[in-house]
Chains A and B, each alone.
Chain A
Amino acid sequence: MTHITEDERQGLADGTLDADGTAAAVAHLAQCDACAADVTQLRTLMHQLHDSPPPSSPNDSAIEELWTTIRARIEARKVVELSAAPPTHVAAVTRSGHWHVWRVAAAVVAVAAAGVVAIVQFHSRPVTTAAGSPASASPAASAQPALLQASDSSRAYQQQVQQLLDEIEMQRAMLGPTTTAVADSDLSAIDQAIAELRAALLRDPNNAALRQLLATSYQQKLDLLKRLNNAS
């Protein structure tokens, strides 16, 4: 006797065999105990798989631990994006021309604003600053400790910014109307981000991540103004 194929056995068991194939295979099973027993065993396995409960889930503390790690990873990415990306992009594109400085600046501000808003929303949760974390590894944090101090008082920053703005204002006519409009818009956006960070710091003065973000934002604005000043 010729037995039914593996394809037919498996298809009978999981119901994927077509109608003609099923009819022929069922006719065979009526005469062949070996094939019938095999298909029955396969069907039993199918039922067992179908009815099996999901694997036991992690306990509450494991779920909590997992979330802690996930949250830290998400928050870490925000800080890295904000502090690491701008200098590279600005430096790279500055070489290409004046107008491009502002296009890149717009991108920088967009990243900064997004990061600031997100961090401000979670200001009550300090970002992890353990070894290897973005907060401790950030170029802004390691290279400019003085800026961190100066930023919070903002006096030194304000003086530098005002000086640069005055110089730029005197040369504004050389920039052209489109560049000037984009520049004003970008400066307004970065100022808004700084204002939001300062407000968040008033509510949560010990939040190290906010302090670092504020310092980075100040630095971004200074860098931007310096580059614009050089360009004009």
Chain B
Amino acid sequence: MTSGANAPRSTAAADGASMMGDAVRLAQAGDLRAFESVYRAHVTAVYALCRRMVGDDSEARDLVQDIFVRAWEKFASFRGESSLATWLHRLGVNVILEHLRTSRRDALRFADDPVDDVPAHGASAAERIDARLDLDAAIARLPSGARIVLVLHDLHGYSHDEIARLTGIAPGTSRAQLWRARRHLMRMLDR
């Protein structure tokens, strides 16, 4: 019974992967309808990345557009060495960081502030209540530099060396920003 139940699922999964592979190949050849399939399969993950990195819904939606337009332009360079999700994720991180560099001059300010510089009561009582209910709300309220490092390191598994390469800061600065972000989150979450 188990194998009987699994077989159709496996076949369906294989069919799904094959269809997506076809869509990728067609999109790489310039087929916009196929690219739409790629968009629909990955837009949720791309949006989540944007939303957490910038902390704002409207800005995140604009970035989703930028990322998929960029993906279309660069799709020929996708060789399948990583998964499409990984390729889109890395492309997305680069687009987001570029956007932050140009649109918010202080967004990527990674000052070497000591961790205990974070105000003891960085959030109001109301903010603490909201944040307790919604971790994302707390992440959105982090200083942008600290938020970017926290999202990349703790949510997406980037090393400090990788973050340093992407953002242009030193690995030690990335580490300090991460600690700062965690401490700030703990205070907002009233721990």
Interface residues of A (CB under 8 A from B): 6-7, 10, 13-14, 41-42, 44-46, 48-50, 52, 54-55, 57-58, 62-63, 66-67, 69-71, 73-75, 77, 114, 117-118, 121-122, 125
For chain B, which range describes its interface: under 10, 10 to 19, 20 to 34, or 35 or more residues? 35 or more
Contact, CB under 8 Å: B44 / A118: no
Mask of B169-191 contacts with A, CB within 8 angstroms, 1/0 = 00000010011001001100101
In the complex, which residues 40-61 of chain B have their Cβ closer than 8 Å to any Cβ of chain A? 40, 43-45, 47-48, 51-52, 61
A48:B135 contact, CB within 8 angstroms = yes
CB <8 Å contact, A121 and B189: no
Q: A73-B65, A74-B69, A118-B32 are in contact. Are A42 and B47 (CB under 8 A)?
A: no
What separation, in Å, do the CA atoms of A67 and B191 have in the docked complex?
A: 41
B155 touches A (CB below 8 Å): yes
* Across-interface contacts of A73 in B (CB, < 8 A): 65, 69
Interface-centre pick from A42, A70, A74, A114 (highest chain B CB count, 10 A): A70
| Complex Cα–Cα for A194 and B116 (A) | 68
CB-nearest residue of chain B to A73: B69
| Contact of B155 with A49 in the complex, beta carbons under 8 Å | yes
CB atoms of B61 and A67 under 8 A apart: no
- Does A118 contact B30, Cβ atoms closer than 8 Å? yes
- Which B111-151 residues sit within 8 Å CB-CB of chain A? 115, 135-136, 150
CB pair B43–A66 under 8 Å, yes or no, is yes
In the bound assembly, the distance between CA atoms of A69 and B51 in angstroms comes to 19
A118 to chain B, nearest CB (A): 4
Q: In the docked arrangement, what's the CA distance between A54 and B134, Å? A: 11
**CB of B78 within 8 Å of the partner chain:** no
Query: Does B110 reach chain A (CB closer than 8 Å)?
Result: no
B87 at the interface (CB under 8 A from A): no
Interface on chain B toward A: helix, strand, loop, or mixed SS?
Answer: helix
Q: Bound state CA distance, A74 and B47, in angstroms? A: 19
Q: Does B108 contact A (CB under 8 A)?
A: no
User: Using Cβ atoms and an 8 Å threshold, which residues of chain B touch A50?
Assistant: 154
Residues of B within 8 A of A71 (CB): 32, 36
How far is the CB of A201 from the nearest CB of chain B, in Å? 19
| Inter-chain contact B191/A57, CB cutoff 8 Å | no
Q: Are B48 and A57 in contact (CB under 8 A)?
A: yes
Q: Which residues of B contact A (CB under 8 A)?
A: 30-33, 35-36, 39-40, 43-45, 47-48, 51-52, 61, 64-65, 68-69, 72-73, 115, 135-136, 150, 154-155, 175, 178-179, 182, 185-186, 189, 191
A66's contact among B65, B135, B154, by CB below 8 Å, is which? Answer: B65
Given contacts A7-B175, A10-B182, A67-B43, 18 further A-B contacts (CB under 8 A): A10-B179, A14-B154, A42-B182, A42-B186, A44-B191, A45-B185, A45-B191, A49-B154, A55-B47, A55-B48, A57-B44, A66-B64, A66-B65, A70-B68, A74-B32, A74-B35, A77-B69, A121-B32
- Inter-chain CA distance A58–B39, complex, in Å, is 13
Q: Separation in Å of the A74 CB from the closest CB of chain B?
A: 5
Q: What residues of B have a CB within 8 angstroms of the CB of A46 in the complex?
A: 154
Residues on A with beta carbons closer than 8 Å to the beta carbon of B155: 49, 52
A41 close to B191 (CB less than 8 A): yes
Task: In the A-B complex, list the 10 residue pairs whose CB atoms are closest, starting with the nearest.
Answer: A54-B48, A57-B44, A55-B51, A118-B30, A41-B191, A70-B68, A49-B154, A52-B135, A55-B136, A73-B69
Indicate if the CB atoms of B189 and A45 lie closer than 8 Å.
yes
Bound Cα distance A6, B172 (Å): 13
Are B182 and A58 interface neighbours, CB within 8 A?
A: no
Within the complex, the shortest CB–CB distance from B123 to chain A, in Å, comes to: 15
A18 to chain B: closest CB distance in Å? 14
Q: How far is the CA of A7 from the CA of B182 in the complex (A)?
A: 13
Tell me how far the C-beta of B37 lies from the nearest C-beta in chain A, rounded to whole angstroms: 11
Once A42-B182, A42-B186 are accepted as A-B contacts, the answer to whether A70 and B40 lie under 8 Å apart by CB is no
Please, could you name 28 A-B residue pairs with CB atoms under 8 Å apart, sorted by A? Answer: A6-B115, A7-B175, A14-B154, A42-B182, A42-B186, A44-B191, A45-B191, A48-B135, A49-B154, A52-B136, A54-B44, A55-B136, A57-B43, A57-B44, A62-B61, A63-B40, A66-B43, A66-B64, A69-B65, A70-B39, A70-B68, A70-B69, A71-B32, A74-B69, A77-B69, A114-B30, A121-B33, A122-B32
